[in-house]
Structure 1
């Protein structure tokens, strides 16, 4: 199973590594990929792992965490998009005009 978390306050590689180390110590965690630039963590875990334990572990480090289950938990397929994490479409930013 895989779950995605939004982690507020994770804004550097050191923060991401701290979260990685703490979450990997939970029995049943298979993989974790944290992104400081996106402020997200994607965790692959066995079915026996309580998702609230992962959230609590990250919060114990001083971060604010929110999560939304992906297709492996709900049966709905959101894909690997920002919408599946934040529940809304990502902002569309226009490209700057090229000057002659």
Structure 2
């Protein structure tokens, strides 16, 4: 299962690392791909909850939109 997000506010590699580390702590997350240039995040894992992932990114200080 994969969930994809557009993340506004990422401006550097520290932002990417912060999001990656934050999401990897969540249950069910196996892999996080942060694409700084495209401002996207792809999360892979088992039984992912889109709302939980979105809330975590927002809690880290970024604006998030779900990609369809």
Q: Same fold (TM over 0.5)?
A: yes
Residues 53-96 of structure 1: CA deviation (Å, up to 9, x unaligned) = 00000000110000124xxxxxxxxxxxxxxxxxxxxxxxxxxx
Alignment partner of 1:18 is 2:2: no
RMSD: 0.9
TM-score by length of 2: 0.94
Q: Give the number of equivalent residue pairs.
A: 68
Q: TM-score, normalised by structure 1?
A: 0.65
Unpaired runs of 5+ residues, structure 1, are 70-100
1 or 2, which has the higher strand percentage? Answer: 2
Q: Which structure has the greater CA radius of gyration? A: 1
